[in-house]
Amino acid sequence: MKRILVTGGAGFIGSNLCERLLKEPDNYVIALDNLFTGRRSNLEKCFESDRFEFIEADVCAPVDIPCDRIYNAACPASPPAYQKSPTNTTKTCVLGVINMLELATKYGAVMMQFSTSEVYGDPEVHPQVEAYRGNVSCNGIRSCYDEGKRCAESLCFDYNREFGTKIKVIRIFNTYGPKMDPEDGRVVSNFIMQALRGEPLTVYGDGKQTRSFQYIDDLVEGIIRMMEFSRINFTGPVNLGNPGEFTMLELAEKVCKKVGGAAQFVFKPLPGDDPTRRKADISLAERELGGWKPAICLDEGLDRTIEYFRKLV
């Protein structure tokens, strides 16, 4: 039986990944999470399986867990969460990755690092390709996350070169769907919850900044393909995102139309270091991951996500 460790396993992406992994009868899944932003309730279905184990622990502390695969998803991902304790965010990105790389090296496991499109910063290249080195502030309010993830990538490739550690690196673009924390401060959850409560939607800046939004099922499919079906020596980094590009105002209008009621917006200043444009170039993923590309459009994904959030209001 394949032993699989998912750090950040009680988080939005981690818990969806755990559920998917448990659909394979030969997988034994261990979710590790300190519950800083993760929620045990996200793992409700997983606890029904006798091939699932939960460990409440912090990746910043070394662990000794025999495993064949490591999916390192541990790190707060929304700006309000990672800015709440920026030094802890950096420690998670650096110490946590070192601990997982050490574990992978010891047991000969493959370690997948969940990196982010934020390594591109406020890009001067559009859409963003993996070869682009980014335009990132090293001392801004988002640096704990952006630079932390860049350092994590560096560590992965240095362990691979120096110790032969088996690695895979993915760069995740904005992702949404069921199991998101309704109060996590991300734009999709913010807009949906405000609309469901009949509140004006908060739009930062002029609302013309863009993002590409990926539904969680598409991301999980890309993750599995990268780990299990890509070439053994294909380390990445590889972009996983939906190349559709939408402004914040376009997203807000879609959410209002789907939820119902008049569209009302409140405009606030754009947060510091907030990227103005974001769009995934997924050419590499399509070539290396068996033709992978997102199957769920924004309208369908929003319908599913709104249905999930309606139950929480």
Secondary structure class of 198 (helix, strand, coil): coil
pTM of the entire structure?
0.97
The pLDDT profile of the chain, 313 residues, written as one tens digit per residue, is: 999 999 999 999 999 999 999 999 999 999 999 999 999 999 999 999 999 999 999 999 999 999 999 999 999 999 999 999 999 999 999 999 999 999 999 999 999 999 999 999 999 999 999 999 999 999 999 999 999 999 999 999 999 999 999 999 999 999 999 999 999 999 999 999 999 999 999 999 999 999 999 999 999 999 999 999 999 999 999 999 999 999 999 999 999 999 997 889 999 999 888 899 999 999 999 999 999 999 999 999 999 999 999 999 8
Taken in order of first residue, the domains within the chain and their CATH numbers are: 2-176+215-243+280-295 (3.40.50.720)
| SS3 of residue 115 by DSSP | strand
In 13-159, at which residue ranges do the beta strands (DSSP E only) sit? 27-33, 52-56, 69-72, 110-116
Residues 168, 173, 176, 182: is their CA dihedral positive or negative?
A: positive
DSSP E strand boundaries for the chain? 2-7, 27-33, 52-56, 69-72, 110-116, 166-172, 175-176, 201-204, 210-211, 214-215, 238-240, 246-247, 265-268
Distance CA 5, CA 29 (A): 6
Active-site positions read 145
Q: Which of 147, 122, 182 is nearest to 308 (CA)?
A: 182
